[in-house]
Amino acid sequence: MARDFTDDDVGSNVLDAEGNRLGRVRQAHGDHATVESTNEEREGLTDKLKDFLGWGDSNENDLSSEQVDSYGDNEVRLRDHR
């Protein structure tokens, strides 16, 4: 469900397809957003998920709207990457 990120998405939890928290939306930039995550959240990321997202080891990474499955109340849920 690709749509542009809006200011309403800022502060939303970013969840993988299984519901694991990956971080929160810090900034919205149209078709992508900046996601901020803690060390603990980054430790839970599999290499396959990091490759899908294009994320490194930084505490801030970009998220493309094309990687999103759904937007809900205070959450952005990612598409299944498997």
Q: Are strands 60-64 and 21-29 parallel, antiparallel or unpaired?
A: unpaired
pLDDT at 78: 95
Would you write out the chain's pLDDT as a tens digit for each of its 82 residues? 579 999 999 999 999 999 999 999 999 999 999 999 999 998 888 888 999 999 988 899 999 999 999 999 999 999 997 7
User: What's residue 57's pLDDT?
Assistant: 85
CA distance readout (Å), 2 to 30, 39, 77, 79: 11, 28, 12, 10
pLDDT at 63: 96
